[in-house]
Structure 1
């Protein structure tokens, strides 16, 4: 199964995180039915509010026009916040629903593949506000899921003169630095939540937009609402998750970008030489430079 998924990823260039689910793409898909509870998860608590952000990033630092666009989501709970890719969460929801309803894999695949192609943000970030620690889950180029935890970064925000309107909210300006990049943020004091996309927390109001000063990464709020009904904040809990540290995951991803075919052949997948010849190095432009 893993061989099929890795080959599919290599040939069609789907998002790395999308390959973490064990979907059967085989010829018997029309007859197979997904088992219930196929996505292993640890539920941490309910979300009370959600904020969605358009996510824009420059794939290749040498080419400012190589922009890609995605959607991210911030789930806000009493103790935990979660930030991740909106389409990945939709993927999980549809996959679980299909499993519970015993819909055939082939039928569900028609809904899942478009979500995989839209997935752009590769991290699942849980913030435990009680301990002020973060748990990060992510892939690093292929299908393997990694997990590490660290203290939340302490951001040194500088409040600036200037204001603007975003989605009908009056916003004030601030700036900070994080992992080697400088950022300008706009926050809404009337939304009295000191949260924001990614790891941009600590301002006196919800962050509605944040952009690095080189215009390579941008998060822009396009929706904010109170949650109606159950919406769990959770960690993935597959047995195959490798627990490691941030430095190791960054290096694995850097190696993958330099040699994607080499990363694939380091697994148990056999890649034909003619296929290797068509796989080139990928741009390496991480949001975290340090």
Structure 2
């Protein structure tokens, strides 16, 4: 069943694919430890790439980064290869000094929104070393959580993982006080090239953040409609539905509030 759904998604991507480029000067790679469900303490791990130039940054899961690159090069040809790059984080985030530009994939469709880049950090007189860089502590309350960030002044870019930025140096580590989401820098290097597959989303419907959040909350119905195409047994459909409802109830997103 899972293979059929992923193949269906791969076919959609192939049909609507187009490429949007991003000129990269540096790349910062992060590890994320995260807890998607409040039902238990189980944590998962993935990695992200933060592409950086003088004026902006672009953030995406490395699994998605690789699969998008393979699609551009027409080297992702089998279902087994596609399944290797499945990820919980299929969206993209572009950052400038003034705004955040977010593209989310929900039920195999793309939705975009903008929001102000306005995190109010409080810098503390506390230091530690991360990935070989001396970092200073900062704190902020955003998206319904209290965040602790560590930034490296010797890397003069005011960017960081996810939507976190605006400090006088690259953010090397950031996590919430419950440690549900914890980003840590593990590599930073110069990489001057043009990324041809930064954002492969097409037919993006631009909405408000509030509307996109509403669509995401109601995504279960769309998933069920898709899955019902392949599940004939009524008991199997009901079992899947109950599990999905339970998962929705215990879902622990990175953003507990919109702002």
Both structures adopt the same fold (TM-score exceeding 0.5): yes
- Alignment-derived partner of residue 263 in structure 1: 222
Query: After the TM superposition, which of the residue ranges 207-216 and 220-229 deviates more from structure 2?
Result: 220-229
Q: Which residue of 2 aligns with 1:123?
A: 91
**C-alpha displacement of 1:191:** 1.0
- 2:147 is the counterpart of 1:183: yes
Deviations 1:206-231 (A, max 9, x none): 11000100111110001111104433
**192, 206, 209: which one aligns with 1:246:** 209
Aligned CA-pair RMSD: 2.7
Alpha-carbon deviation of 1:75? 0.5
The aligned residue for residue 276 of structure 1 is: 237
Shift, 1:19, TM fit = 6.8
Contact 1:126–1:235, Cα closer than 8 Å, also in 2: no
Q: How many residues align?
A: 249
Deviation at 1:235, TM superposition (A): 3.0
Does the CA contact (< 8 Å) of 2:157 and 2:168 recur in 1?
yes
Distance apart, 1:113 and its partner CA: 1.8
Q: Which residue number in structure 1 is paired with residue 172 of structure 2?
A: 208
* Separation (CA, whole Å) in 1 of partners of 2:195 and 2:227: 38
Give the 3 Å change call, closer, same or farther, for CA 139–23 of structure 1 in structure 2. closer
Partner of residue 40 from structure 1, selected from 18, 30, 34: 18
Offset at residue 269 of structure 1 (A): 5.1
**Structure 1 residues not aligned, in runs of 5+:** 25-33
Displacement of 1:172: 1.0
Contact residue 159 and residue 175 of structure 1 kept, 8 A = yes
Summarize the alignment of residues 51-66 of structure 1 with structure 2, pairs less than 5 Å apart: 51-63=28-40, 65-66=41-42
- Residue of 27, 38, 41 corresponding to 1:50: 27
User: Match of 2:46?
Assistant: 70
Q: Distance in 2 between matches of 1:235 and 1:274?
A: 40
TM-score normalized with structure 1 length = 0.76
1:68-116 CA-partner distances (Å, limit 9, x unpaired): 11111111123331111111010011122126xxx8x33xx44332112
Task: State how far apart, in whole Å, the 2-side matches of 1:247 and 1:275 are.
Answer: 33
User: How much has 1:23 moved relative to structure 2?
Assistant: 6.4
Consecutive unaligned residues of structure 2, counting only runs of 5 or more, are none
